[in-house]
């Protein structure tokens, strides 16, 4: 927790042993559908200015198309042949609803 890069550590970073990984029941590795998992750690996480919990929406939450949200992560900067960045990146991006997504990516479903 608290890591900003995959190439070194920082003083605010904490490591915890992962006890259990629960992969989404509808995960599809080929299409990256439901590409999410929960990890249970073996010791309590101490929150700080650099380590904070995230809020997850409930099943009854409603979001409108184009609502701006934040996404963070490591990985490629573009879908095809993108540079793999070692630093944690963040992006403010609009949400896309299921219908619009299916329309734009109909060949992917």
- Domain coordinates of the chain in residue numbers? 1-53, 58-109
Q: Which residues pair with 72 in a beta bridge?
A: 90
Residue 71 near residue 93 (C-beta atoms within 8 A):
yes
Please state the φ and ψ torsions of residue 32, each to the nearest 5 degrees.
60, 25
Residue 41 near residue 53 (C-beta atoms within 8 A):
no
Q: Averaged over 88-107, what is the pLDDT?
A: 85
CATH class of 58-109: mainly beta
Q: Which residue has the higher pLDDT, 88 or 105?
A: 88
- Prediction pTM value: 0.63
Q: What is the pLDDT of residues 27-39, one digit of tens each?
A: 887 777 788 899 9
User: What sections of the chain are H helices per DSSP?
Assistant: 98-104
- The answer as to CATH 2.40.10.10 being correct for domain 1-53 is yes
CA distances from 91 to 6, 56, 66, 78 (A): 18, 18, 14, 13
Q: Averaged over 84-91, what is the pLDDT?
A: 86
- Residue 108 pLDDT class (50, 70, 90 cuts): low
């Amino acid at each position: 927790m608290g890591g900003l890069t995959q190439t070194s550590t920082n003083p605010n970073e904490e490591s915890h042993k992962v006890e259990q990984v629960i992969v989404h029941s509808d995960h599809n590795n080929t299409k990256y559908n439901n590409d999410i998992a929960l990890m249970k750690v073996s010791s309590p996480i101490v929150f700080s200015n650099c380590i904070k919990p995230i809020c997850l929406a409930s099943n009854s939450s409603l979001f409108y198309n184009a609502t701006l949200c934040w996404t963070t992560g490591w990985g490629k900067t573009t879908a095809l042949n993108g540079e793999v960045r070692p630093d944690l990146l963040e992006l403010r991006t609009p949400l896309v609803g299921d219908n619009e997504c299916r329309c734009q990516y109909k060949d992917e479903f």
